[in-house]
Amino acid sequence: MEVIIQPTEDAASLLVARLIARELRGHPQLVLGLATGRTMERVYDHLSAMHQDEGLDFSLCTTFNLDEYIGLAPDDPQSYRFYMNHHLFGRVNIDPRNTHLPDGLAKDIKAECARYEDLIRDCGGVDLQLLGIGRSGHIGFNEPLSALRSRTRDKALTPETIAQNAPMFGGDPTRVPRRAITMGVGTILDSGRCLVLATGPAKADIVARAVEGPITSSITASALQLHERCTVIVDEAAAAQLKGTDYYRWIFANEPEWEEFRP
């Protein structure tokens, strides 16, 4: 795992977008794992701008989202399918047939989870997985005590997650679905590279625990310590409780991989 600290939320989001763009340019048939949440909106704004201004080409790219609420239709403004169409898919030249999210309306949820896993495998696996982190420490909707080898399945949301996501439901926690389909921690760990973005002071505590604390199913983001290629990108506010910041800053300032991204 490596941690890259950027001065602001916008700089952190731009770096994530530039890393995705570099992968896509080098490998136009990229299988890209995508995430939702407020943190990702700026990343998608930057990617859309790169498509408009620099011709960043998504036409051969395939995407798999981490999760979807159970019970919400794709045209429900609170569904993650709607979020993705609005923030990214409708703004770039991606083929909608190559964009995948779990079907939150599936009659047979177990079969839908198995179908999603099979589809990821049939596409050759996720090359690059984008991830946010919930305040419960979740990645996707892998809530505390999710098995660290779990695959795509349905999961009950914690009250903390329901409260965290209530602002997207008009501030009313009773409108937030109680369950979701999510890629498992094991599914995520199978991806070729993980890029985690966390910004703002509300994430500082959970970032420090996930990155520098012990690996535990109580904080599923901590399982990313097992991944061979996981980069955590944070702004100063989200880095505030990390202990190893001198080393992390040294990496960004000195490692050749980051040269093209330094100001």
End-to-end CA distance of the chain: give it in Å, rounded: 23
User: What part of residues 20-49 is at the interface with ligand GLP (CB under 6 A)?
Assistant: 35-39
119-138 mask for ligand GLP (x: CB under 6 A)? Answer: -------------xxx----
CA separation (Å) from 25 to 18, 34, 58, 166, 217?
A: 10, 17, 9, 37, 36
Is the CB of 147 or the CB of 251 nearer to ligand GLP? 147
How many beta carbons lie within 10 A of that of residue 169, not counting itself? 16
Task: Compute the distance between CA of residue 178 and CA of residue 112 in angstroms, rounded to an integer.
Answer: 18
Contact with ligand GLP (CB under 6 A) among 15, 32, 58, 67: 67
Taking the complex as a whole, the smallest distance from the CB of residue 226 to ligand GLP amounts, in Å, to: 19
Is the CB of 162 or the CB of 251 nearer to ligand GLP? 162
Closest CA to 68 of 34, 92, 45, 40: 34
Closest CA to 30 of 80, 2, 64: 64
Task: Compute the distance between CA of residue 46 and CA of residue 54 in angstroms, rounded to an integer.
Answer: 11
For residue 180, give the 3-state DSSP assignment.
strand
Contact with ligand GLP (CB under 6 A) among 15, 34, 61, 66: 66
User: What part of residues 203-222 is at the interface with ligand GLP (CB under 6 A)?
Assistant: none
Does 191 interact with ligand GLP (rule: CB under 6 A)? no
Does 117 interact with ligand GLP (rule: CB under 6 A)? no
Is the CB of 133 or the CB of 223 nearer to ligand GLP? 133
Q: What is the DSSP letter of 194?
A: E
Query: Site for ligand GLP (CB under 6 A): how many residues?
Result: 14
Length of the chain: 263
Does 144 interact with ligand GLP (rule: CB under 6 A)? no
In the complex, which residues of this chain contact ligand GLP (CB under 6 A)? 35-39, 66-67, 132-134, 140-141, 161, 165
